[in-house]
Structure 1
Amino acid sequence: MPRARRLPTAAGVTRTLCLVSVLAAVGLLPWLSGKDPALTVLRARSAEQEPTREALDAIRRDLGLDAGPLSLLGSWADDLLHGDLGTSWVSGTDVLPSVVAGLQVSLALMGAAFGVAVLLACALVAPVLVRARASAGAWAAMLAAVPEFLLATVALLVCGVWLGWLPTSGWQGPEYLVLPALALGIPAGGLLGRLVADALPAVLDERWVELWRGAGVSRTRVSAAALRRVLPPLVPQFGMVAVGLTGGAVAVETVFAVPGIGRTALGAAKSQDLPLLQGAVLALLLLGLLTGAAAAFTRRRLLGPALRDASLNLPPARPVRTHPAIPLTLFTALAVAIGGGLLRDPYAVHTADRLAASSWSHPLGTDALGRDVLARLGHGAAPTVGTAAVVCLLSLLLALALGFLPGVAAGAADIANALPPVIVGILVAAAAGPGTGGAALAVALISWPPLAAHAAALVQEVRASAFLTAQRAIGASPLWILTRHVLPSVAAPVARHALLRLPGIALALASLGFLGLGAQPPAPEWGLLLDESRAYVERAPWAALAPAVALALLAGLAVSGAAYAQGRKAVKETPVEA
């Protein structure tokens, strides 16, 4: 019992320290950024004025930058407590009205996207309730794996450019909301549907369902009771889906030129308008924290007073199995495209072949500079997937370390889960500048919580096992037990878990590259390739489709590979009947 009381205390302290650290980093952005804020303000106020020492010193005194970082942080925190977010360095207007206006647009977009997600989740779950089997799991998993920025680009290209059904940019009426809401809501709906569809069959096999049906209870009441049984353990995951909408909104708002808070934050980071960036990031962070709190409150209400202090777990979900030919086919297609591109020069410029269509000399066409798209696609695998492998390894090492400190990890994980990769990427880019290293750091900072939770559960299971009790009884030292028994039992399963997350990490890095926060030109990174092709997508759609298809194949490989691994694990764990 004393240990059970200490863990929540440690989690609370860690949660508070991490939140204070994030707020301090936001408040110290003018000092953390690698550029001189005074020079940025001078360029914004008068581009023709010479950056003399006297002019820069005057601006530093005006902004309070000459007082030092601690004084600057204290002044910013005091203004924040009084509801003052400062003045934009670029426009000279108050930050608060701009943040409020952008937040209203983003909330409207996220509300519409959440409605799309709920409708799609209902459509995916309905067959499971009717046939009592997880028939929607594979489709839901594929929809959930598609990144928002990729779906937004394809929707803009197909529905907006080719078919002309809906407007492709702006925010002037309800019709401008349709494509952004679909691009943002479909992956979220796929994830919600997958969570419920995977859990429902096991619940419908429980004894009480059979008793209710035998007593003549209607199918509608049984389905409603099964959903109520499923929802409480899944509500925290629903909260993370809503947080994902916050991060995905940045990319979707950028693609469709929606004046939301995410696009405002991204524009402020690129222009080094740090007061506006501080206000926008605070608004996004507040959205994430409020979403997590609302998820916790909803779960407590669903459980009721009798179960609020108890843990309610679902029965093990039936694994979504897939044929081994599916991941093998996807991997082969990616390998062929990458191998063919590696044989070509990705930087050779041929201005006479600008935006050329597919041909024998250029199988996937050329970009705006006449560079071979296939070559850039092949050479882009290393900065996309290779960097993801490094991030995956760092997350694995951190998760193994935090697996032995579950109280500390739980508090830090709450803050990490409230920060989508895009938000952390914006902060890192504002402090250190955009680049591959900054993008990798941003993804690594928030990708460890699932692995740490897995490691903590395995550590607890191994420590409670009988063979460790026997080792202690014969006098084995704690170091011997740790290195010879605990770590080997924990490291292998968590490493396999991390490997399954590798494609998802690569997609997160690609999203940062797409937003200009990751690899910089002329690097052939896949997200950057997709971003560069948006400017001429009407004239040369093949340049955008090539990295889009590669990212889609990577997402499909993640889903099918995970499903195949789950199926193999389920077969191994199934007892063989005599």
Structure 2
Amino acid sequence: MKATVRKLVGPAGLTRFVCLVAVLATVGLLPWLSHRDPALTVLRARSAEQEATDEALSAIREDLGLHDGPLSLLGGWAADLLRGDFGTSWVSGYDVLPSVLAGLQVSLGLMGAALGVAVVLAAALVAPVLVRGRGSAGAFAAMLAAVPEFLLATVALLVCGVWLGWLPTAGWAGPEYLVLPAIALGVPAGGLLGRLVADALPAVLDERWVELWRGAGVSRARIAGAALRRVLPPLVPQFGMAAVGLTGGAVAVEMVFAVPGIGRTALGAAKSQDLPLLQGSVLALLLLGLVAGALAALTRRRLLGPALRDAGLTLPPARPVRTHPAIPLTLFTVLAVTIGWGLLRDPYTLNTAARLAAPSWAHPLGTDALGRDVLARLGHGAASTVGTAAAICALSLLVALALGFLPGIAAGAADIANALPPVIVGILVAAAAGPGTGGAALAVALISWPALSAHAAALVQEVRASAFLTAQRAMGATPWWILTRHVLPSVAAPVARHALLRLPGIALALASLGFLGLGAQPPAPEWGLLLDESRAYVERAPWAALAPAVALALLAGLAVSGAAAVQGRRPRRTTAGPRGTLGARAVRKETPVGA
């Protein structure tokens, strides 16, 4: 009980509260932060023919309370919210709360079904490891996790809905309408969950208790169940983050299948500048994320039991995924040659006579609906997608290394950041500053650091507690020497590998925002925007959609295999003091399970 109270009132609890208030304040101030004139939006919604005179706009601002300033606006919104009043839609004129509740009900059903698909797929990935006692989900599961939900949704709609006619392609009128959206949303989540568990199991199955149980004649099924119970508690927070990710992925899937969920409601409200409806929708999505995190924490406590609740439970380091050096080299070569070849071509030249042309020597990846070369747009789009993702990775790494020395503050801020998928933050940023590459990069950067900072904080704590640092202090080493020669080198390398593993996820988040119209705008050759532009004619010219999708999958495989190759080759390091060596000691802190 005392530990719980300390957690609530400590630095992490205070930071958590401050960050939550900051998010709520941002949502409440959207009408004031918006780059558009809300009065003009309301005027156009009420009467498209009425002239936008100063008198008419001033009357609407007075009616909406926009003349009173940001603090008064925020106070009035918060007071109404406490009374259960979410406001009135600027576009439809109806109360916001019923629309939010209706969309939330649909999204909860979709995410529940998608979670079922994810669990089934994860079980299929984990089963071979339990049977053989070794192996890993590896790059295959990572590629599944990196496949864009919106691309899976488009392919499923085309194949199962249009070509085969097995299932309906749009709407929400019965259980059969749930199947395709749930598959599109659940497959990437299942790949992520399967990889987390399958990568952690081999190290657990090598523990001493497993050998003792086998020697005692315990059945394989019981050992497998105990191993899963041993693996799950440290991974449950990652499962909670995956559930939060479903809310972000649901936005794109709901758009493709015209599902009237809360994500589609929020996106539509952002594009139409119906800010009261957007505020209510974002609050509902934030609540979903917070509830998912709370349920994950509760589940972890129940799995640990009272004996380990306060001490926690950590997994042994996952064994490095072995990969042949030729694999990352091959993937890098394919991507580099493709991007380099595309950079030599013009991505903006229009040729209406060659619209939707099939791949040929003149156009190796075909052309799009305007006759533009797909290879050229893919190559030039790499700078926008991969380049921006790499910059965000580097920035997140620097933030994580800084916050690693402030674990309380980092943990509190991470709890709130983890509850916000990139799409939701992108909607907020687009509503306030307008869509664009900068806004998409800002949205992804705001929530890309929590996992890295948690990793860095854990490593800093472990390295500081190491016996060899105690000896260094006894020998007269200065704090600056210990920091620069021991702590930072021991922390920076594994966190940098962790950041590398997150590169494809960040690129996918940027592509998702581009696909939804919240990122780069036409005619920019951004990978997500290429997928969105090709969606309307994917049946006639699938190569235009497959090119950026395959590029994202290759990027995922390159990140996983490259990080594994670097990890496997990393030499042991000898730590030396300022006045001599202390002896060979390898401080090996690998990327935690769940990275």
Report the TM-score range of the alignment, normalised by the length of the smaller protein: over 0.9
Match of 2:386 in 1: 385
What whole-Å deviation, never above 9, does each CA across 1:17-46 have from its counterpart, x for those lacking one? 000100110000001111111111111111
The answer to whether structure 1 residue 214 and structure 2 residue 198 are counterparts is no
> Identity of aligned pairs, percent?
86
Aligned partners of 1:330 and 1:199: how far apart in 2? Answer: 26
Deviation at 1:570, TM superposition (A): 9.4
Match of 1:169 in 2: 170
How large is the RMSD of aligned CA atoms in angstroms?
Answer: 2.4
Deviation at 1:463, TM superposition (A): 2.8
Distance 1:523 1:305, change over 3 A: same
Q: Is the 8 A contact 2:146 2:508 kept in 1?
A: no
Deviation at 1:168, TM superposition (A): 2.5
Deviation at 1:460, TM superposition (A): 2.3
Aligned partners of 1:237 and 1:40: how far apart in 2? Answer: 41
Aligned partners of 2:346 and 2:229: how far apart in 1? Answer: 57
Match of 2:46 in 1: 45
Q: Is the 8 A contact 1:321 1:566 kept in 2?
A: no
Q: Is the 8 A contact 1:141 1:194 kept in 2?
A: yes
- Compare 473-482 and 457-466 and name the one that shifted more: 473-482
Match of 1:122 in 2: 123
Match of 1:223 in 2: 224
Match of 1:243 in 2: 244
Q: Is the 8 A contact 1:41 1:59 kept in 2?
A: yes
Aligned partners of 2:562 and 2:298: how far apart in 1? Answer: 35
Deviation at 1:110, TM superposition (A): 0.4
- Compare 36-45 and 363-372 and name the one that shifted more: 363-372
Once the two structures are superposed, the pairs formed by residues 145-544 of structure 1 within 5 Å of their partners are 145-466=146-467, 468-469=469-470, 472-473=473-474, 477-544=478-545
Distance 1:71 1:574, change over 3 A: closer
Aligned partners of 1:465 and 1:214: how far apart in 2? Answer: 35
Look up the equivalent residue of 1:393 and give its one-letter code: A
Deviation at 1:470, TM superposition (A): 5.1
- Compare 462-471 and 89-98 and name the one that shifted more: 462-471
- Compare 334-343 and 482-491 and name the one that shifted more: 482-491
Distance 1:213 1:492, change over 3 A: closer
Q: Find the residue that maps to 2:10 and give its secondary structure.
A: helix
Look up the equivalent residue of 1:90 and give its one-letter code: V
Aligned partners of 2:378 and 2:266: how far apart in 1? Answer: 29
Aligned partners of 1:296 and 1:465: how far apart in 2? Answer: 29
Match of 2:581 in 1: none
Match of 2:583 in 1: none
Aligned partners of 1:426 and 1:497: how far apart in 2? Answer: 27
Q: Which runs of 4+ in 1 moved over 6 A?
A: 570-575
Distance 1:301 1:569, change over 3 A: same
Aligned partners of 2:572 and 2:334: how far apart in 1? Answer: 28
Match of 1:16 in 2: 17
- Compare 262-271 and 465-474 and name the one that shifted more: 465-474
Look up the equivalent residue of 1:421 and give its one-letter code: P
Aligned partners of 2:141 and 2:401: how far apart in 1? Answer: 30
Distance 1:402 1:548, change over 3 A: same
Aligned partners of 1:162 and 1:359: how far apart in 2? Answer: 26
Q: Is the 8 A contact 1:342 1:379 kept in 2?
A: yes
Q: Is the 8 A contact 1:188 1:245 kept in 2?
A: yes
Deviation at 1:8, TM superposition (A): 6.8
Q: Unaligned regions of 5+ residues in structure 2, if any?
A: 574-585, 589-595
Q: Is the 8 A contact 2:149 2:249 kept in 1?
A: yes
Q: Is the 8 A contact 2:343 2:380 kept in 1?
A: yes
Deviation at 1:469, TM superposition (A): 4.1
Q: Is the 8 A contact 2:304 2:312 kept in 1?
A: no
Q: Is the 8 A contact 1:7 1:406 kept in 2?
A: no
Q: Is the 8 A contact 2:490 2:587 kept in 1?
A: no
Distance 1:427 1:150, change over 3 A: same
Deviation at 1:212, TM superposition (A): 2.7
Deviation at 1:371, TM superposition (A): 1.2
- Compare 318-327 and 304-313 and name the one that shifted more: 318-327
Look up the equivalent residue of 2:516 and give its one-letter code: L
Look up the equivalent residue of 1:303 and give its one-letter code: L
Look up the equivalent residue of 2:362 and give its one-letter code: S
What whole-Å deviation, never above 9, does each CA across 1:152-197 have from its counterpart, x for those lacking one? 2333333334444333222222222111111111111112112221
Deviation at 1:76, TM superposition (A): 0.8
Aligned partners of 1:133 and 1:493: how far apart in 2? Answer: 24
